[in-house]
Structure 1
Amino acid sequence: MRTSKALELAVIAWFVTASTTAWSQTAGAASASASAQGASGTAASGATAPVGRKADRALRRRVYAAIGKDKEISAGDISVITKDGAVILNGTVTDVAQIGKAETITRGVSGVTSVTSKLTVKKPLGGM
């Protein structure tokens, strides 16, 4: 009987400790995010990366610029969608190799956390 009571108390203590640790991590992340946003919505120094529409637009511009620098990729047929560091590439390219190259270039852009490619190869009008 004593062993089961001690085991029960140990399990309860473990749950309380785990719950407290999880709660403090979530609260710490939320308060850090709120303080990083500040009153003006810009990131404070020491923040990992700004979030929101402005940051998404800036990241999208950086990705477009990086892809546009590569002369082998026709960037005019590629659209870029960004959301909190995640990038989706849509559109068409003229060669299969350009898909991988566009993904590699995008991954190299500062602030990109993931890349999803929905690029396809545009077939010439002759159909071959």
Structure 2
Amino acid sequence: MKMTSGIRVTLGAVVAAVSVAAWAEASETVAAPASATDGTMVAASGATSAKTQRKANRALRRKVYAALAGHKEINAGDISVTARSGAITLNGTVTDASQIDTVVQIAKGVAGVTSVTNRLSVQRPIGQ
């Protein structure tokens, strides 16, 4: 019985030592680029850049919604706008086929929009 307990304690100590060694090795590989001045600048600018990009995407999306809201003939409540680095994707439905081209032209006219992907469709009345 004492031998089994001794083996368990030894085995536990070995597992703990290996875990600590693996954790320390992983920390060194992560810490190495951060300690270099170039690595720190890249990591910091990458995080800031992603946050700034998300903020810019939200702002562009709001600008497109505002432009659509300025046209009373378009029901923008059934249209969703996705922005990604200046590329706009329009999803949803409109009541008339001619409105699809109008919505696309309005979106293209917003400052900051580089391209528009049109996934709009015409909403059919119920029963038809």
Instruction: Answer yes or no: same fold by TM over 0.5.
Output: yes
1:93 maps onto 2:66 in alignment: no
Distance 1:39 1:125 in 2: 49
Q: Helix, strand or coil for the counterpart of 1:57?
A: helix
Q: Helix, strand or coil for the counterpart of 2:91?
A: strand
The unaligned stretches of length 5 or more in structure 2 are 1-40
- The amino acid of 2:112's aligned partner reads G
Distance 2:45 2:56 in 1: 15
- The amino acid of 2:107's aligned partner reads T
Corresponding residue for 1:30?
A: none
- The amino acid of 1:102's aligned partner reads V
1:40 Cα deviation (Å)? 9.3
Distance 2:124 2:46 in 1: 50
TM-score by length of 2: 0.60
Corresponding residue for 1:67?
A: 68
Distance 1:66 1:38 in 2: 32
Distance 1:104 1:83 in 2: 18
Distance 1:76 1:109 in 2: 18
Corresponding residue for 1:81?
A: 82
* 1:87 to 1:126, Cα distance in 2 relative to 1, 3 A: same
Distance 1:39 1:53 in 2: 12
Corresponding residue for 1:55?
A: 56
Corresponding residue for 1:22?
A: none
Deviation by residue 1:95-115 (Cα, 9 ceiling, x = unmatched): 001000000000000000000
RMSD: 2.5
1:126 Cα deviation (Å)? 3.2
Q: Give the % identical residues.
A: 54
Q: What aligned pairs does 1:1-128 form with structure 2 within 5 A after superposition?
A: 41=48, 52-127=53-128
- The amino acid of 1:115's aligned partner reads V
Distance 1:126 1:72 in 2: 24
TM-score by length of 1: 0.60
Distance 1:68 1:120 in 2: 19
- The amino acid of 1:99's aligned partner reads I
The unaligned stretches of length 5 or more in structure 1 are 1-33, 43-50
Distance 1:52 1:40 in 2: 10
Distance 2:60 2:84 in 1: 9
Matched length: 86
